[in-house]
Structure 1
Amino acid sequence: MKRLNLYGSAASFYIADLSFDYDKILVVVPEEEAQRVFREIKTFVDAYFLPAWDVSVDSGLKPSIPIIRERMRSCEAILNRDRLVLVTTVQGLAQGVCDPEAFMEDVVVVVKGASVDREEMARHLVDMGYNRVSVVEAPGGFSVRGDVIDVFPVNEENPYRIELWGDEVESIRIFDPATQRSLREAGAVTIFPFSERSFVPLSEVVDFDVIMGIDPDALESEREDASFWADREVDLPDFDIVLGGIPDLPKEIETGFLVDASLKGEKRIDFVVLRIRELLKSGFTGFVVADGEERVDALQQLFMERGLSLRRTKYKRGLVRTGLYLLVGHLSEGFVWEKKGIFVVTERDIFGRRRLRRKRARTRTKGVLISSLRSLSVGDYVIHRDHGIGKFLGLKKSTVDGVVREFAAVEYKDGDVLYVPVDKLNMLQKYVGAGGEPPRIDKLGGSTWRRVREKVRKEVEKFVQELLELQAKRALAKGYAFSPDTPWQREFEEAFPYEETPDQVKAVEDVKRDMESEKPMDRLVCGDVGFGKTEVAMRAAFKAIMDGKQVAVLVPTTVLAEQHYETFKERFKGFPVNIEVLSRFRTRKEQREVIQGLKEGRIDIVIGTHRLLSKDVQFKDLGLVIIDEEHKFGVKQKEKFKELRANVDVLMLSATPIPRTLNMALSGLRDISVIETPPGGRQAVRTFVSTYKRETLRKAIYREMERGGRVFVVQNRIEGLEELRDTIKVLCPAVRVAMAHGKMKPAELEEVMYKFVKGEIDVLVSTAIVESGLDIPNANTLIVVGAEKFGLAQLYQLRGRVGRGNDVAYAYFLVTLGAVTEEAKKRLRALQEFSELGSGLRLALRDMEIRGVGNILGKEQSGHVAGVGLEEYINLLEETVAKLKGTLREVEIEPTLVVSFEAYLPDYYVADENVKMAIYRRLMSADLEEIEDIKEEVRDRFGQMPDEVEGLFLLSKLKVLCKRLGIIRLQQRSVGFVMEFVDEENLKKVLSLGQRFVKKKDKVVGTSINDPKELVEQLATLVQNEVSSKS
């Protein structure tokens, strides 16, 4: 066995380079390093990754998509690649690889021009583990709609659309799952299985030339861990080469690019360029690694400005002559390999800290037709703008005057049903209220809805008026204008270990701009837990201290005060800033000393609960107040906050996300900064789903205890909590266990939480109260018992409690065998897929957003949201703001259209009711340009359009034109169309189109045109001419 003193990126490069000497290489890596090593090897050569499943085989759930994807790609590579670099973990080795014969039987290849039986293909896809869905948005989904088959192969980055003519494949197109629009043609598609039927040991499938191990001590520890979980002995293979930090051996490769860590900015870049020139002069070949495609141009430009050419290449040993080359990939640090005459430089070497890359969220374009927050399902509560709250019964067809029409049926009180035609579906909104309580259904034709709506409108007007008055007072008030940033401020910000997210940068800029203004700051920073609000607050605090001002940080609980104290102390380390805490956990003598220090100006930052608002607490020169989670304070404290706002700068932090629409409606009324981007750099929480077994509970707790951490154990009911605590005491007798739930006295609960924060308790058994507020970097294991009983938003928030430090965190969702419904499976699956806040989760978190309305606007407004629903509340808010600011738009008319052509989506064309509703509602709110866009999209997704669908697009265009031309009623008769107008002015415009348009009576025009297409063309010409004359 060969042992080499090699670690980090240099070890990854060594493995990549070795692949030119050997055909098949296996690399066994510790779990925490596996992704990094895999990505780094891939920077230089093709490589594959074989991870272990993140669910137990007996849970009945599938592993997460990234894991299935990597395992399937590895399986295909093992079978078909002559050269192979395979990275795996001890657990991956223990699990083995899918049976190659079964894999080959399952793989489907579809080629343009080939013959396909759609039902047979659908059956085969289900057998392969794929799910039949209405809209294909994620890997592992497929749908069959007439002649169109959509499928998202697990081995591909985008889904494919297969269009048939009879049984022949007419076209294959790659499409965007976000917009559902085709991107480009493809000649064929290969579909890998989405499940593994059986496993075989890796050694039975591949004869590796070289087996390598990285960090043998860590691998041995993981081997013991794997044996512990598997209840059988797991063996490591015999390694040919072992790599690691082996102190008794000379370094094989010099790691780090030998840059002085204190160098920053231009000086650092110039130093690196000088070092590169020296190495190139000595005959070395150099590689600069860009963190992504989007960085290529910037790096080439940077080097060109300094007289060095950076040529794009792929690494091939011996083929690269002396010079400087550019690679795209992921490398954590650079190195110099004297023996081979090679050096590698990373962006971290050049810029001083790694630019943490984040996955770009797919942007959803205007033409998106997929389910959203506003999509409707049968049984949902809906609001009709004129008739109020009812229950959506689904879409119903009816023949009226020989014409088939489709309606949305809404049930009201006493079983009355309102049928809403498709052209009026924009009048319907999904009811989204507060707290998840079902609303009271209105009576059709009753006056309750109008009264409620009017009452809410008046209350909204009062609320907006108060905000505008407050804003006007603040505009007149003269506060303290803070100085621009000092060099120390920049040094403090440079010490932040992560790269700021764009939202964080903007929030910091907003806060500084407010502080530098003479007007007292009153800004709210909103963002999910862990998104970096505290860093924004600490930068504001530092800025205040630079001007000799004092800072008060107010938090709702004593535990949080202690926590913030530790966070602030750690972050301000190395700077002459005096930080203290004032809470009941301090002795009376300590409290007196803090109060005296504040009065004399010796203390710069004080952190505390409402105790800071007491009369005996006086500041020498208070300049900034930071309030964390204001909604958790009492009425008296909130009144005190109002007084504070008149004199000093106030910065509020809230962990509840707010709906973007509400944020926009409030713009100009409240200063709000929203941090929506999750931070990069933090390791994703490793999420496991398994059936509940006492042994699993014991092992998960001991796994965390062995690394000196702490554990949250959560179940959703207080009943049975004591029993769970006692079970843990029996299973883990050496572990200190305590219990916490909402029915405990506040002081008692606070005491338990404080002990947990301080490390005097190892395992906290609680209800979902741990959802809110606490940040315990050392608590890195969460175990949820009965996970199937929790909502997605709850589970997401619970998981956010762990993984706040630098260690890998684990979340175990333990489900009751046989009790997991399809809905619960979907929730747990979503959590596996979204280690960060993704779009799918965003929708599921709407209940958090509704809570956010109450937290930001106050409980009273939250009640009004419950009365009329979120969408209608925001409509009223926007209308009121516009009215009070004197910018109210004229009220848009809602035309009635009576036509004798069919205009709907037949079931054989669009089968899924949710998809239909999404198309109808989008169409009836679209403008002419968007209608054409949606038409292309529908044709692309569902194939050739039948007459009824063509009619639907004509109807939607007629509706837009009627709105634009003031036509409140359009009726198609046997002799032509008849139009009724809002006013004479609009009537005259239409008469100007010529002799075929004749005035019948007051505000009514008739036309001999009977073809709706022709009418659309004529009216569109008039609208277009109007637009042209205005521009």
Structure 2
Amino acid sequence: MKDLIPFSQHPSFQSLLAAVKGHSDEVELIEVSGVPLALHEDLIATVSSEAEAGVMYAERDAHELRNYLETVFILELSGRSLSELVQLLINHEYSQNARVDSIGEFAVIGDILQIWPPGYEHPLRVSYFGEDFESAAFYDEIYGKQLHTAQTVLIGDLRAFESQALMSALSIPLTHQRAAASVVVFGGEALGQEKSRSIEFDFAYPSLYFRRFELLERDIERYARSGFEVCIYTSHEDILPDSLQKFVAGKTEELDAGVLSAQLNLLVLTDRELFGTVFLSRRTRHISSTQARKLLAELEGEIEIGDYVVHEDHGIGVYEGIKQETFEQKISLGFNEFKTNVIYEDYLVISYAQGDELLIPLSQIDKITKYIGPDDEEPRITRLGRTEWATITRKVKESVAAMAKELVEHYARRSLATVDPVPTEISPAMEEFLEAFPYNETEDQKRTEKEVYLDLNKNKPMNRLIVGDVGFGKTEVAMRAAFKVAETGKQVAVLCPTTVLAAQHLKVFSERFKGSGFAVAGLSRFAGSGRSVIEGLEKGTVQIVVGTHRLLSADVKFKNLGLIIIDEEQKFGVRQKEKLKTLEVGVHVLSMSATPIPRTLSMALSSIQEISLIQTPPEGRKSVDTIVARLDYQKIADAILAEVSRGGQVYYVHNRVQTIQSVYDKLQKLLPGVRFVFAHGQMPSARLEQVINDFYAGTYDVLICTTIIENGIDMQNVNTIIIEQAQNFGLGQLYQLRGRVGRGERQAHAYFFYEGEDVAKEDTPEEEIILGEKLLKQKRKHQKYKERLRAILDFQHLGSGFNLASRDLEIRGAGNLLGREQHGNISQIGYGLYMQLLAQEIERLKQLTDYE
């Protein structure tokens, strides 16, 4: 939005910039008024960009915030040793934990210090060599990905906060290495502080018109006569009267609301003002992972002593085993005589924080589930007798209720819609299309195909999800459904989350539909603007379109859309999913996913979505030969030569964009006769497309790439994949990458090269005694990669995606399908309890909907 609102032209902006850039030993408070909430982030982004330093700001004013800001100072990270910085954090009331999960915490893990100061959207990772500073960068606390490097941060005394609630009112852009020596307080009420100056803007929200265009026209003419520049940004230009068309400046999703400024002579209007749509700030704060997720697990044989467990009513603790308690029961025999019975009762023993212990009768075992987290970090144990757990579960229940309501309402809207049934009879053209398929169908494919045909034959829109292992024929079933729908004169949209996957699907659909008479076209970043495609969709001359979220743009209109095929829907963003929902009403929807669906999620969604499983491999498919070894470039060279010498091609996965060129240079020197090329997602789209197409055509022998190949690239001549630094990948990722090869009848090979201790090496009893329990636990935590690489070796048979690492894949599947926005909720109470609440709420709302 900062590019659409000329902040820097406002007279007050220069005053603000001068105040921010003014060098000071102490952090200065700047009170800013006359800026609506929707403009806070963008004004600060502009100021920070001009000042070349991140400016911290408070979205509202409060005594408690002022008290904290009085203590804030700029910390030069390179100027402190590890022990000095740790002591500083302790003195400023930061809480030390095993890992950083929320604001106000820090953790020391070897030579790495993690800190999460107030105001920062993500925590900071500071690396040391011994005591000496090496580097610092902010990172994504859920996925661990590095975001932006840092040289300075703003630190203050946390004792000023009476609660954590106000910490979320502070923010600072992370895109600058240094922090400015200024803090902006919006809506400043001059609370008697001397260290602040005031700057006033005149930005305001315009009036809401609720489609009353006659009032809007009158006001716009008045502003225009007064010399105001009037800009309208709308996704519904066709609704506006002709007299307003000249003011339309285009479409944008960056503007949450319009703005009015007399000093800038500017009036900006959006759909919020034109139609009175609900104002939602696009800046949604990231929910941190305060605890990890878990999976509903059968208790028998699953929980061992020392494992983390979750009690529905009391939270996370450690299972200590079964304890038998004895009770004496006095039974009166009359005449003042008593008989004493000894009663033996078995209890599960769970230990909690601060040495508390809870005895759970075996009759309440259904309240306990095994705790399984999303990563290798240990969870925070709950403190008994506090309201913390009750507060967490109450908040999550509210969120679950909102999500369930949304799911059920969407289902209800779709179920009310009617569609023309698609005949189940096979036409001669369809017969020809089926015969052109070069492979024999598996039983699962036949069953799924029949289920899809039956869905299409109803007068209600289909809503089916096909879940199948990589390369098991989901796309063929989808293409048959597309053919059936296209035969009825309706259009088909195939939606993909990435340009690479869209380009791959376009190739497959184009080849499969050659000679069918149906026009297949692409619309994505690779496909350019696609003006002719958009016109073809509107006129009906394009029957099947394959594309990314570009298909959801306002300028894309279908003449007669009948079916949407969605590949890996869980990878789309929240905004795209919302647009998709409006498109789906009254249209058949067929989704595909290679991520196994958790059993509990499947149960929760079963009443509102049909699910088909394809679990049997295609005929003639061989399992991929899997080799796990320490990093050895001679072995890598041998593997590449072995594949190239039999006329095949190789994927070489190196997941760091910064060093991919050096790996390319190294391999070219090592194997001068082999044709190498590299690709990654940060390349210009035209170059990326060219590289993928050239590799597909056989111009190169080896594609060195990041994990852009994890989903969707299907090249049957590529039958060797080499993954470098395999210890850094999750089990689900390793499995998905292995699935990229072995798509034909030729024997495929997957090499997982790692750095670290030998995967096969186990700790000896002597080592366990020497290290002691604490150090041994730390060592094993850092070597979890051994378990992952052993698991990938153990599960080499076809279809093992539905058995391999239920812990890793099922959690991954749940998080993806529900969307990242629910990650925080799942992590706070655990996966099992979350699913239970969701299923109950869906069922309750579904019954109400059906009753009505």
TM-score range, shorter chain: 0.5 to 0.7
| 1:648 aligned partner | 587
* 1:381 matched to 2:308: yes
Query: Alpha-carbon deviation of 1:715?
Result: 5.0
Q: Secondary structure of the equivalent of 1:563?
A: helix
Of residues 625, 629, 643 in structure 1, which corresponds to 2:568? 629
Of residues 825, 830, 847 in structure 2, which corresponds to 1:864? 825
| 1:672 aligned partner | 611
Query: Alpha-carbon deviation of 1:815?
Result: 4.7
Question: Any gaps of 5 or more consecutive residues in structure 1?
Answer: 1-369, 889-1031
Distance 1:496 1:472, change over 3 A: same
Amino acid at match of 1:471: Y
| 1:852 aligned partner | 813
How many Å separate the matches in 1 of 2:811 and 2:695? 31
Distance 1:501 1:849, change over 3 A: farther
Query: Alpha-carbon deviation of 1:403?
Result: 7.6
Is contact 2:495-2:567 (8 Å) kept?
yes
State how 1:485-634 maps to structure 2 within 5 Å.
485-487=425-427, 488-586=429-527, 591-634=530-573
State how 1:417-428 maps to structure 2 within 5 Å.
417-428=357-368
Q: Deviations over 1:114-134 (max 9, x none)?
A: xxxxxxxxxxxxxxxxxxxxx
Distance 1:492 1:749, change over 3 A: closer
Query: Alpha-carbon deviation of 1:632?
Result: 2.7
Distance 1:400 1:724, change over 3 A: farther
Distance 1:455 1:824, change over 3 A: closer
Q: Deviations over 1:299-320 (max 9, x none)?
A: xxxxxxxxxxxxxxxxxxxxxx
| 1:775 aligned partner | 714
Amino acid at match of 1:705: V
> With structure 2 as the length reference, what TM-score do the two structures score?
0.55
How many Å separate the matches in 1 of 2:834 and 2:301? 15
Is contact 1:678-1:837 (8 Å) kept?
yes
Q: Deviations over 1:763-816 (max 9, x none)?
A: 233454533332222221111234455444332222111112343211123355
Is contact 1:434-1:862 (8 Å) kept?
no
State how 1:910-925 maps to structure 2 within 5 Å.
none
* 1:762 matched to 2:701: yes
Of residues 696, 703, 710 in structure 1, which corresponds to 2:649? 710
Query: Alpha-carbon deviation of 1:851?
Result: 2.4
Query: Alpha-carbon deviation of 1:731?
Result: 0.9
Of residues 378, 384, 392 in structure 2, which corresponds to 1:452? 392
Q: Secondary structure of the equivalent of 1:410?
A: strand
Is contact 1:678-1:836 (8 Å) kept?
no
Is contact 1:374-1:429 (8 Å) kept?
no
* 1:805 matched to 2:744: yes
Distance 1:501 1:877, change over 3 A: farther
Q: Secondary structure of the equivalent of 2:585?
A: helix
Query: Alpha-carbon deviation of 1:818?
Result: 5.0
| 1:842 aligned partner | 803
| 1:966 aligned partner | none
Distance 1:862 1:515, change over 3 A: farther
Query: Alpha-carbon deviation of 1:707?
Result: 3.2
Query: Alpha-carbon deviation of 1:830?
Result: 4.1
Distance 1:448 1:765, change over 3 A: same
How many Å separate the matches in 1 of 2:307 and 2:619? 37
How many Å separate the matches in 1 of 2:300 and 2:593? 22
Query: Percent identity between the aligned chains?
Result: 49
How many Å separate the matches in 2 of 1:388 and 1:825? 30
Distance 1:384 1:622, change over 3 A: same
Question: Any gaps of 5 or more consecutive residues in structure 2?
Answer: 1-296, 329-341, 763-783
| Residue range with higher mean Cα deviation, 549-558 or 713-722 | 713-722
| Residue range with higher mean Cα deviation, 655-664 or 830-839 | 830-839
How many Å separate the matches in 2 of 1:725 and 1:610? 32
Distance 1:552 1:741, change over 3 A: closer
* 1:477 matched to 2:417: yes
Query: Alpha-carbon deviation of 1:606?
Result: 1.6
Query: Alpha-carbon deviation of 1:634?
Result: 3.5
Query: Alpha-carbon deviation of 1:387?
Result: 0.7
Query: Alpha-carbon deviation of 1:696?
Result: 1.5
Is contact 2:623-2:798 (8 Å) kept?
no
Distance 1:717 1:844, change over 3 A: farther
Of residues 604, 608, 622 in structure 2, which corresponds to 1:683? 622
Alpha-carbon RMSD across the aligned residues, in angstroms, is 3.5
* 1:412 matched to 2:391: no
* 1:468 matched to 2:395: no
Query: Alpha-carbon deviation of 1:698?
Result: 1.1
How many Å separate the matches in 1 of 2:300 and 2:719? 32
Distance 1:708 1:597, change over 3 A: farther
How many Å separate the matches in 2 of 1:852 and 1:707? 37
Q: Secondary structure of the equivalent of 1:856?
A: helix
| 1:699 aligned partner | 638
Distance 1:838 1:475, change over 3 A: closer
Distance 1:461 1:692, change over 3 A: closer
Is contact 2:318-2:352 (8 Å) kept?
yes
Q: Which has the larger radius of gyration?
A: 1
Distance 1:637 1:791, change over 3 A: closer
How many pairs were matched up?
517
Amino acid at match of 2:399: E
Query: Alpha-carbon deviation of 1:567?
Result: 0.9
How many Å separate the matches in 2 of 1:786 and 1:444? 42
Distance 1:768 1:617, change over 3 A: closer
| 1:949 aligned partner | none
Is contact 1:406-1:422 (8 Å) kept?
yes
Is contact 2:495-2:547 (8 Å) kept?
yes
Is contact 2:408-2:846 (8 Å) kept?
no
Q: Secondary structure of the equivalent of 2:507?
A: helix
Distance 1:701 1:627, change over 3 A: same
> With structure 1 as the length reference, what TM-score do the two structures score?
0.46
State how 1:971-990 maps to structure 2 within 5 Å.
none
Amino acid at match of 2:723: V
| 1:309 aligned partner | none
Amino acid at match of 1:380: D
Q: Deviations over 1:457-501 (max 9, x none)?
A: 233233223333322322222223222232333443344333434
Is contact 2:490-2:561 (8 Å) kept?
yes
Of residues 833, 836, 852 in structure 2, which corresponds to 1:875? 836
How many Å separate the matches in 1 of 2:658 and 2:540? 51
Is contact 1:434-1:865 (8 Å) kept?
no
Is contact 2:731-2:808 (8 Å) kept?
no
Q: Secondary structure of the equivalent of 1:701?
A: helix
State how 1:134-153 maps to structure 2 within 5 Å.
none
How many Å separate the matches in 2 of 1:747 and 1:783? 26
Query: Alpha-carbon deviation of 1:701?
Result: 0.9
Is contact 2:540-2:560 (8 Å) kept?
yes
Query: Alpha-carbon deviation of 1:845?
Result: 3.9
How many Å separate the matches in 2 of 1:442 and 1:783? 43
| 2:37 aligned partner | none
How many Å separate the matches in 2 of 1:620 and 1:840? 40
How many Å separate the matches in 1 of 2:831 and 2:528? 47
Distance 1:560 1:457, change over 3 A: same
Distance 1:618 1:403, change over 3 A: closer
Amino acid at match of 2:561: L
How many Å separate the matches in 1 of 2:300 and 2:819? 23
Is contact 1:853-1:862 (8 Å) kept?
no
Query: Alpha-carbon deviation of 1:515?
Result: 1.7
| 1:930 aligned partner | none
Query: Alpha-carbon deviation of 1:446?
Result: 1.8
